[in-house]
Chains A and B, each alone.
Chain A
């Protein structure tokens, strides 16, 4: 039985299915597309741990199917959310080609997280960039340019990662992970320059501050169902890759995670486009995971991967609810919405569950996993340069991110569902959309209440004293107080900033009087980043145009360079040397060579 399960890697099954889905009629295609990832979940659950399918690729050892606790957890949640997202796509009128692209993106993600060596991981990593770009492009319109920038940045990140992997190969002599047979003695990317390159390369995928611009740029633009797929795979595979590169953690990565948590939440607060707000929150939430990976050790890594699992559930749900609102009202901006809870109570309910989960309110799954990471930042990590009272530096950064999360989701909920009245009437989510949303919402609550179910699939047992630095208990009085306090602070914070926030962007002239520092700071940052981005964009486009022109019309270019109006005869044999000149070249060449040598 178990040999049968390890016969082929999941990607080899999922890719053909993706093609099939694109070709089949809409209904049966989506049924197949939802069924196969669901089966993949069962497959991942039962497949035995270990390295399977060891082969050699061009003389290098490769492991195409490597199962350990980390890849198993990724496979479980990827399969689960993919099945739900296909259902949601069907309900949201996505065409089969788009779902086919989406499934190919899912398939390559499976390939990446089940790779047992760096070469295979990189191969699927790059394929993910390609398939996700196709998914964005498929929507057309503004998504095309955004997709182009997305592809460019990810190509750059992939190249940096490739450089890091090559140098690691030079240092270790193999591409294999340390955990597979014949692997090197030390896990991860070699220290020094390769580690720095890998951090930046993977940093593109996880949205390091400064490298995150693609997230809010790309994710709000395609079809609403495509956003559900996009929000899941790239960043989370990035977290997984970060763990493989830094299995013992790294201080700089940990603080970058803390910074991302705060930065993402703060920028989310300034947004009015729903999906743009959610995109900034991906950066913020991934910050917690990156912090967990950076801290290192059993507790933090278990927390990081628990957060990966939970985050995929509630972020998928958030994009689904935002998608339903857009699908029904056709409006992306929070400014033009309001009072929708009367019109769409079910969507409002699902949103509330997801918002409480992402903010980490007691009783919801985000509370459990965020708690583990914050606990690790206290018990497994150094005090850092700026401890505030009992709170260590990283710890209060993460808590501050939590306050920001509460504030921005109170804002989202307030403006979309509760504030004022909605003019006119819209129906609630359709039946299948409701099924998709309620399934995920139920899981968010279930994993919040029955936290042991979550602990069971984590790579390390966080309730075992022998395994972790500090035994983690979800429901203790101080922890619950902490959760509720964050919520209260968020509420107070939102009440205090509601007015300036509501003015922000709408009346820019008045803004300057309210908060000049934030306004100018943000504006300078945004303009700086966008301009830099645009400048790179322009430079690349120009360079490409020159290369293309050189390749397609070299005659013209040559003619231009020579600035002559030579006829066809002259151009047919450019740069031709006669016999005498050739012999002269030869004589000069040998003379130079002899002078150089002696």
Chain B
């Protein structure tokens, strides 16, 4: 069974995803239990896989027994194992949140498991076309989840996400076609060997393929200016979905971008075509600055967090593009750390909204005393995101900055250091509001409002809905992880250094 681990990791959630649909004939609320069981199994499998990679190095698997360049190959190295494990763990954590927060329909959990399958597939695949397939599975599941909110805004946001996301994925597919035309293969390792020898790095065909594939993935990563779908999707989806997709969808897409850079085009391509590197670096830096600036100008907290992602992914992509081992380790650490922190922050906004009705910056004023535990965890996560040591956010940024210093790319260093200040600009405001401002929403007003409506009805502003211990526990766990993960960085760094060296020949 150990041999089949990579494929089991994808098959399990797909099979699990079919079960709620069948069970719904018998029972209406079985979805959560099925999903939890499946994802728990998923965590165990991913943990086992990560452990295998740590002890015996990169694992590769030929699906259906067809030999590699023609059949589909799954390749799991230190980075992909970590991302797969992240997907499983975050999925389990969000389920603990969803237990109470809903939505509760069986079809929701089918989509949820399908999204887990898509994300896991993206992280373990070693084939560019297979990557497209999983990209589409991920996309479709995510569109469906965003639309699962009750409000009309959710449907509009999902439609926007669908159209833009599909165009992006199609561009990626077009790029894959160009690569196939240039080399005659779709396998990543095979492509890496044939690019440069069969087709020159600077041939128009290869460059066009690069532009289309990177452009397509950039939509999914949501770098500025292709981020327009993302704030709407994050802010208008149900809280459970916001926490899940904000933590994972862009993260896995950024992972796929890194995979494309290192396993398909390789560092030699970036050296041979400096304009490609500079264009990506420029895009990343613009994204860092503009994302932060847009985040500062938001009044809705969830939209602020969404724009913060635009900025943080700029940081991650910059780290990957710098391409020195240190910067890549930093970008990987920040990729995983950001997922935990951003997921936790969205979950916290959900809890705060349910308890107090506050959704905007001004609404957050004085909430530190109303929801002490959640507000405390929120502040820890915000400071971790800013990069206050010893949180994980600090370590990632530190490695990225030092990688850039070592590579002597000074403009990037300046932008990265400035990004810390910009991040501080919007999170410091939030923390200041939480703890040092006079409250604008008062508990007694809210109680009056609640008294006017029937006990079990949802209040118009969303406040007064109960919050389960599980939901708060998820937020607190994310805050603890955001600090505790720092301890795991040396081990992670070692695994990356052992399994990635052939990708980082610099």
Contact = CB atoms under 8 A, between A and B. Distances in A.
Interface of A: 58, 166, 169-170, 547, 550-552, 554-555, 558, 571-579, 581-583, 585-586, 589-590, 593-594, 596-598
Contacts of A577: 228
Nearest to A587: B167
A156 to B, nearest CB: 16
A597 B275 contact: yes
Contact of A593 (B164, B279, B428): B279
Contact of A583 (B167, B207, B279, B296): B167
B297 A573 contact: no
Nearest to B235: A573
A572 B299 contact: yes
Contacts of A571: 299
B480 interface: no
A585 B226 contact: yes
A589 B283 CA distance: 11
Given A551-B428, A582-B160, A597-B210, A589 B395 contact: no
Contacts of B163: 579, 582-583
A516 to B, nearest CB: 48
Contacts of B429: 551-552
A597 B279 contact: yes
Contact of B297 (A166, A554, A585, A593): A554
A596 B279 contact: yes
Interface in B212-269: 212, 214-215, 218-219, 225-226, 228-229, 231-232
Contact of A598 (B204, B231, B296, B297): B204
26 contacts: A58-B395, A170-B406, A551-B296, A551-B426, A551-B429, A558-B297, A571-B299, A572-B360, A575-B294, A576-B232, A579-B160, A582-B226, A583-B163, A583-B164, A586-B167, A586-B226, A590-B211, A590-B212, A593-B211, A594-B208, A596-B279, A597-B207, A597-B210, A597-B275, A598-B204, A598-B207
B150 interface: no
B159 A597 contact: no
B117 to A, nearest CB: 27
Contacts of B395: 58
A554 B296 contact: yes
Contacts of A582: 160, 163-164, 226, 228-229
Interface of B: 159-160, 163-164, 167-168, 171, 204, 207-208, 210-212, 214-215, 218-219, 225-226, 228-229, 231-232, 273, 275-276, 279, 294, 296-300, 303, 360, 395, 398, 405-406, 408, 425-426, 428-429
B164 A579 contact: yes
B164 A586 contact: yes
Contacts of A586: 164, 167-168, 171, 215, 219, 226
A593 B280 CA distance: 10
Given A573-B300, A583-B167, A585-B228, 4 more contacts: A554-B297, A590-B212, A593-B279, A596-B275
Contacts of B398: 58
B287 to A, nearest CB: 12
Contacts of A575: 294, 297
Contacts of A581: 228
Given A596-B275, A597-B207, A590 B215 contact: yes
A593 B298 CA distance: 29
B425 A551 contact: yes
Given A583-B167, A586-B164, A594 B296 contact: no
B2 to A, nearest CB: 33
A170 B410 CA distance: 12
B215 A598 contact: no
A558 B225 CA distance: 20
Contact of B300 (A550, A552, A572, A597): A572
A556 to B, nearest CB: 11
Contacts of A589: 215, 218, 225-226
A399 to B, nearest CB: 45
A579 B228 CA distance: 8
A163 B211 CA distance: 36
A551 B424 CA distance: 10
Nearest to B294: A575
A127 to B, nearest CB: 15
A577 B159 CA distance: 14
Contacts of A58: 395, 398
Contacts of B225: 585, 589
Nearest to B282: A596
A590 B406 CA distance: 31
Contacts of A590: 171, 211-212, 215
B160 A594 contact: no
A357 to B, nearest CB: 45
A579 B428 CA distance: 32
5 cross-chain pairs, A with B, having the tightest CB-CB distances, nearest first: A582-B228, A577-B228, A597-B207, A590-B215, A593-B211
Contacts of B279: 593, 596-597
Contacts of A169: 405
Nearest to A593: B211
A551 to B, nearest CB: 5
B392 to A, nearest CB: 13
B228 A593 contact: no
A597 B211 contact: yes
A403 B231 CA distance: 72
B451 to A, nearest CB: 27
